[in-house]
Structure 1
């Protein structure tokens, strides 16, 4: 028992030797100082050498308290009346008052003599420590309640010499007395092995070692951090265990939010791409193939627009569940954002091994989505790239799978496509065009061409459509079909569109003056230009500087722009109509709700798409459609323009059907401004029209 007291006292003293925020003093039964820690030196100003052997009442007790302190100590030693914890104002070496919260505990040492320990907290500097100090408690209890929940003093073999548990529920097993037992005997084998390992390391290394572990307690799963310090002089170890369940769960929540999609709970873009990189490394080591599957829900925007985002969210949640139910546990289903998903398939022997899984993913959407009382029929478009055939980096594989997915879109959706060499060439070409497109305007590489528009009533040139041409030193002549979508995507279409408008109006002014006629010019408007707040002012400025009246300018708008259904579209079309310029619906018939747009907006012209004009002489359906379109347009007081006229037979039939204006290669291909100034219709217009 004496050895146990001595061991415990020495362990506690060693613990407080390095504590400088709390003053701990030890006094023998004659009130002489036997222990004086660093915290006491800081608070009272006496060094340990100065204090050891001095009496308590001569050292830090003010004169008016001396008698009471001596009496209280005597009463405790003789009669067992404990000195209560209290806020006191004691005295420093310099005579200044020191406000402390003082707690006391009485021990019998190995020689069966009384020792009193005082724990003083400086109220001026460590207010927080005051809440941790509990009055009327022994020294060890006060100490243990200011440190983590579990405290163990063990031998180098792991036998428990002493322990304290602020909350017994944190102990893995409930024993009335675990003293003498081994730490490892009270823990699951996996956790016990950790303790044995770190105890051995602690005896070999200086400093404090720490590790984390998990236990299934009656109160639930709990996480702990153990810190082990070797007391080499006593051949013992101090083990302090802190409950970190709350911080662990908070960290898990942060991890969940950082790496998992908040809506579907599957890996988000960040985690998916990280797993893709890890999968590539693993496949490289194993010499295996892998597939990156890129999926996009077809027409998902319509669900959000028509049924609301709540329904859209529930569709995405169900989609994630269906996709996850198909793949192996070792595979990954992630959400890249919006309605785009990614599936990572590893450990493939051959590329075609991915086909079965891809077809199952496609078929997963055959079953209708049941949302409340609705049944939604949805399809997906899938693109697949194979490692290492289609790329050896995450970026390359993802880009190629994305390109293959768009190939599926172009094939009619609800299908899948594997990345091919031809697609790769298309991507490289697109990247080259995009790189050269930047700065092309500043390098004067663009030129506006004009295609004549012919009035079928008097067989005269009545105007022209402005068409952009691009000749690049590296790429040569780049077609509008190639560079316009890229310019639209990058936003470069806005300054390019302004360039076309300014050039077209300047030419229109010159052309009209040269021929003394009031020609018109038609300019195409892109979707991006509808979001340009300065566009209407720019149109006014160009009309004024070129001295062109607004009714001589036509803006051609495709149905795709109108389908956006954004307020900026309505506002710009209204502003242009109020300005007096003419509005023409381009590519009529290629959409599915053109009639509603004709009723909604103030159009002046309707332009029949070349795909219908090309078939009017041989295809009855095309001829009937063109006939109905012309009749409908005239009933709405709209002029009709037919584009893509290439034969005299087409021209004759259009004339008979009452078409107002025609343009096409039959009259002229698009030509530069100088050729347009010199264009002579009589040399080209055939008498058989």
Structure 2
């Protein structure tokens, strides 16, 4: 029985060859085996199992001479393998008769190649082609030799990242000469404007098919290039988490990419070209070893781009990717030559600072990083401000291992976020309490809907002139048996980050409309209900159907539903957002611009999209009695809105004087603690009855 430690060690030895193994795993018709310097099996694909009868578990760890080599050939094979390992004498390709698990002869055409992994260990790979039923003349042998070369050298060399509509977001090509057109002619454009109509239709047909199933889909097509007709294989992979499609194009008439490219892809981020997570942590381990030997300090910086998700949601992933690339360049410009910057994934980066004398040295570099990000980024004609939150963990004070330092730097980064972002924080043990709270909220949020822990509260909205209730805004509250009452400020951002906001948003819509139906019937009044929609919900393919079905089920006229969105959602002008807003308006539902004046405030949005309601943010309402600037701004906003035919709602009314001024300025409706705090459904029914 093989030792689990031996199998684990053998598996670790060939980690660098994972991309190569993925290719071989997909080729069942060909047997591919990998052997270490002791001739022990370290890789055994499905084709080997079909050809020789041994499954992967039976084969891993066995020596080749004990597995498939006839006894008469054993000494020759051992000697030949040693000569290649020690003397660099290659084993030639040849037709061989080997043995399967049952002792039967297996005729194969066997070829070999030698790799050297990151541990400087040599690994021999054998590629065996079954000749039992296909023994032919010399032409067939030449064909198989060519096919062998293709397997080792031809990896798909064109990668395209697209959205669901076929717009090309990013690409990668080892040989730009194989591209149909130059990169500047297709990045950010729809493939229909680049490819011939017949090829575009084929792509779209298979993309539609890929969106409906989980398996990878492949097909072939051809293009006419300057060198003639070239045939390609396209593999489509659906990435539902990111709402994107990865298309891998393989030139099936050319050789594969080189082994160096495989290594680069294994260790570097394809977008920013920075060391990836695996590579960065490997470097950190080496830095810590040197620090221990030379009695030095080191620092790990965990960097997160502030509000980067809003950039992706509002301006699109293409702009987001360009910002990531530019961010990587800026980070590299500030650091010393001995420092390392890597991309952990998404908008998270890691900076490794070796050879430090004290924490002050890390502080100087950290402040320089923050400073360099205060200059605007120029992307596609826009100037964007992108700031950093940085968490710093020092070796050996904050940890002795790579994993401990990374975790503590991450914790410190969240502390920097809580301090207002665009700053840094050094790790302290007290931070664990804060980050633990976040983890607990995220953990408890899963299943909270099923456990019926969420409840809707309603803040009444009043007609400013009559001071009578005309509707309410639905506000979500969460009481968890373990955590107690969790504020929306705590759990909403986490719900957005995890994607749970989609299911929670559906719950809010259905519950709010259910209550509205009962409220209208009990009071015999045509109240309105305002519901907030998050940017993430606009990517929910079921959003419109759920709204419509809920309205139909509760027998509510759509004009009594008001959906609130913020300005930031509109910045990118994405098609799916515009289409959803048009459909919502087409149903007769009112659209409300929420928190007006706090974001990117563009009046053009009020003309471009079918808004009917504008809500002035509470920060301006609170100042109208003490600040002339706030007063003038609110006055101008109300006048402008009325000229555009919009109804104005004032948020955060907390005093009688504020309400009086709003009445004088002609504001239509208001909500706030002076009028009523958010209350439960039962309390609202009792409260509204007192106004009848």
TM-score, reference length from structure 1: 0.58
Matched, 1:654 2:665: no
CA spacing shift, 1:418–1:541, aligned 2, 3 Å: same
**1:462 offset after TM fit, Å?**
0.4
Matched, 1:319 2:330: yes
User: Residue 620 of structure 2 corresponds to which residue in structure 1?
Assistant: 612
User: Residue 469 of structure 1 corresponds to which residue in structure 2?
Assistant: 477
Which of 267, 279, 296 pairs up with 1:271? 279
User: Residue 563 of structure 1 corresponds to which residue in structure 2?
Assistant: 571
User: Residue 87 of structure 1 corresponds to which residue in structure 2?
Assistant: none
8 Å CA contact 1:304–1:311 kept in 2: the answer is no
User: Residue 516 of structure 2 corresponds to which residue in structure 1?
Assistant: 508
**1:599 offset after TM fit, Å?**
1.4
User: Residue 595 of structure 1 corresponds to which residue in structure 2?
Assistant: 603
Q: How many angstroms apart in 2 are the aligned matches of 1:274 and 1:299?
A: 29
CA spacing shift, 1:283–1:472, aligned 2, 3 Å: farther
**1:525 offset after TM fit, Å?**
0.7
Matched, 1:293 2:301: yes
**1:559 offset after TM fit, Å?**
1.8
**1:291 offset after TM fit, Å?**
1.0
Q: Secondary structure at the match of 1:352?
A: helix
User: Residue 488 of structure 1 corresponds to which residue in structure 2?
Assistant: 496
CA spacing shift, 1:670–1:393, aligned 2, 3 Å: farther
User: Residue 118 of structure 2 corresponds to which residue in structure 1?
Assistant: none
Answer 1 or 2: higher relative contact order, Cα 8 Å, separation at least 6: 2
Q: Deviations for 1:506-558, whole angstroms, at most 9, x for unmatched residues?
A: 11111111111111111111111101111111111111111111011111112
Matched, 1:520 2:528: yes
**1:464 offset after TM fit, Å?**
0.7
User: Residue 533 of structure 1 corresponds to which residue in structure 2?
Assistant: 541
CA spacing shift, 1:410–1:334, aligned 2, 3 Å: same
Aligned residue pair count = 448
Which of 444, 462, 470 pairs up with 1:454? 462
Q: How many angstroms apart in 2 are the aligned matches of 1:439 and 1:669?
A: 28
Equivalent positions of 1:241-390 (< 5 A) are 251-262=259-270, 265-280=273-288, 283=291, 288-295=296-303, 315=326, 318-319=329-330, 321-323=332-334, 326-329=335-338, 331-337=339-345, 340-362=348-370, 381-390=389-398
User: Residue 146 of structure 1 corresponds to which residue in structure 2?
Assistant: none
8 Å CA contact 1:385–1:401 kept in 2: the answer is yes
Q: How many angstroms apart in 1 are the aligned matches of 2:600 and 2:450?
A: 39
8 Å CA contact 1:263–1:317 kept in 2: the answer is no
**1:479 offset after TM fit, Å?**
0.6
Equivalent positions of 1:541-560 (< 5 A) are 541-560=549-568
Q: How many angstroms apart in 1 are the aligned matches of 2:618 and 2:262?
A: 57
Q: How many angstroms apart in 2 are the aligned matches of 1:612 and 1:364?
A: 33
Q: Secondary structure at the match of 2:526?
A: coil
Q: Deviations for 1:646-679, whole angstroms, at most 9, x for unmatched residues?
A: 1111111111111111111112111111111100
User: Residue 621 of structure 1 corresponds to which residue in structure 2?
Assistant: 629
8 Å CA contact 1:322–1:364 kept in 2: the answer is no
CA spacing shift, 1:653–1:277, aligned 2, 3 Å: same
Structure 2, unmatched stretches of 5+, are 1-72, 78-95, 98-134, 143-256
Q: Deviations for 1:147-182, whole angstroms, at most 9, x for unmatched residues?
A: xxxxxxxxxxxxxxxxxxxxxxxxxxxxxxxxxxxx
CA spacing shift, 1:647–1:369, aligned 2, 3 Å: closer
8 Å CA contact 1:264–1:320 kept in 2: the answer is no
CA spacing shift, 1:347–1:678, aligned 2, 3 Å: same
CA spacing shift, 1:375–1:465, aligned 2, 3 Å: closer
**1:340 offset after TM fit, Å?**
4.6
CA spacing shift, 1:456–1:557, aligned 2, 3 Å: same
TM-score, reference length from structure 2: 0.57
Q: How many angstroms apart in 1 are the aligned matches of 2:470 and 2:513?
A: 15
**1:335 offset after TM fit, Å?**
3.2
Equivalent positions of 1:393-432 (< 5 A) are 393-402=401-410, 404-405=412-413, 415-421=423-429, 423-432=431-440
**1:253 offset after TM fit, Å?**
4.3
Q: How many angstroms apart in 2 are the aligned matches of 1:408 and 1:18?
A: 65
CA spacing shift, 1:594–1:372, aligned 2, 3 Å: closer
**1:404 offset after TM fit, Å?**
4.2
Q: Secondary structure at the match of 2:466?
A: coil
More divergent stretch after superposition (569-578 vs 332-341): 332-341
**1:634 offset after TM fit, Å?**
0.6
Q: How many angstroms apart in 2 are the aligned matches of 1:376 and 1:607?
A: 26
Q: How many angstroms apart in 1 are the aligned matches of 2:647 and 2:382?
A: 43
8 Å CA contact 1:588–1:594 kept in 2: the answer is no
More divergent stretch after superposition (406-415 vs 534-543): 406-415
Q: Secondary structure at the match of 2:275?
A: coil
Q: Secondary structure at the match of 1:641?
A: strand
CA spacing shift, 1:402–1:636, aligned 2, 3 Å: farther
**1:400 offset after TM fit, Å?**
4.2
CA spacing shift, 1:486–1:381, aligned 2, 3 Å: closer
8 Å CA contact 1:452–1:464 kept in 2: the answer is yes
Q: How many angstroms apart in 2 are the aligned matches of 1:483 and 1:469?
A: 10
More divergent stretch after superposition (308-317 vs 371-380): 371-380
Which of 624, 628, 634 pairs up with 2:642? 634
CA spacing shift, 1:511–1:390, aligned 2, 3 Å: farther
